[in-house]
Amino acid sequence: MTQMWFGDDVMAVTPVLAGPCTVTQVKSKAKDGYEALQLAYGERKAKNIKKPQLGHYKLADVKPAHVKEFRIEDASGFKIGDVITVETFAAGDKISVTGTSKGRGFQGVVKRYHFHGFRATHGNKDQERMGGSVGPKGPAHVFKGTRMGGRMGGERVTVTNLEVMAIDAAKNIIFVKGAVPGAIDGLIMISGAGELKVNLKKSASVKPEEIKVEEEIKADNEVKEAKEVKEVKIVDNEVKETKIEEVKTKENNTAATAEVKS
């Protein structure tokens, strides 16, 4: 997690690298019984993907590391190969985040269920964190659901009503207010209400060096054009001057001939 300033307020946010996700399958109610989109994320080597899956992903021209399915109300407006980026979200959107919580291993009842524990004095010994009785003697078995020590964490958890604080479209990062379930580098699914927009990512960004080179080339072309225009103007002036001189010489010659005749 990190912090971001919004005016005079500082917010704790979680930066999430989200997408781009490519649509690898569109499921319809007529064919599959429900409406859904199958999204692919990440990339891995083709040798690590089974051949049937490779043929399935070939239509979208991807070799994904993760594939998940999202149910939507109407999938008719989407096709295989559509790309979903972080730009489909906006600051202020309410979202739900689903992930796998951190695994804590085998834990006791105090940490797992927040039991109070026993007294440390007045006849008690080594009983501070014990679970205590698990039921009466009559049924002769432990009821299902009794809170006892056991494996903690590593479960599918959904946190609702989280807020998108900012979007970094260049780096495909969503800044989510608060914490999200799971460990660092864990896989999560983000969903929200509203219109799902696809293919919003602009063309590949041009490097600053390339922009500078293009600007220099444009500047050189402009200078060359300016020089050519000046040369043309100068040539035109010379042509006009020569024509004026020729006209003057002709006039002088006609005047001289007139004097000679007179």
| pLDDT number for residue 200 | 78
How far the first Cα of the chain sits from its last, in Å, is: 109
Inform me whether the pLDDT recorded for 85 exceeds 70.
yes
| pLDDT number for residue 238 | 55
| pLDDT number for residue 203 | 42
Bridge partners, 17 (sequence order): 173
Q: Is the pTM of this model over 0.85?
A: no
Strand segments, DSSP code E, in the chain are 2-6, 9-17, 21-27, 36-41, 66-71, 83-84, 94-100, 105-107, 150-152, 156-168, 173-177, 188-192
The dihedrals phi and psi of 118, each to the nearest 5 degrees, come to -100, 170
Does the N-terminal peptide bond of residue 20 adopt cis geometry, omega within 30 degrees of 0? yes
**CA–CA distance, 177 with 11 (Å, rounded to integer):** 7
Bridge partners, 166 (sequence order): 175
Confidence of residue 174 (pLDDT cuts 50, 70, 90): very high
**CA–CA distance, 220 with 222 (Å, rounded to integer):** 5
How do residues 158-170 score in pLDDT, each as one tens digit? 999 999 999 999 9
Higher pLDDT, 114 or 201: 114
How do residues 18-66 score in pLDDT, each as one tens digit? 979 999 999 999 999 999 999 999 999 999 999 999 999 999 999 999 9
CA 197 to chain CA centroid, Å, is 13
Q: What is the DSSP string of 164-204?
A: EEEEETTTTEEEEES--SS-TT--EEEEESSPPP-S-PPSP
Inform me whether the pLDDT recorded for 256 exceeds 60.
no
User: Which token pair is 250?
Assistant: 């002709």
Output DSSP code: residue 49: S
The dihedrals phi and psi of 69, each to the nearest 5 degrees, come to -115, 135
| CB neighbourhood size of 64 (10 A) | 19
Mean pLDDT for the stretch of residues 111-125: 91
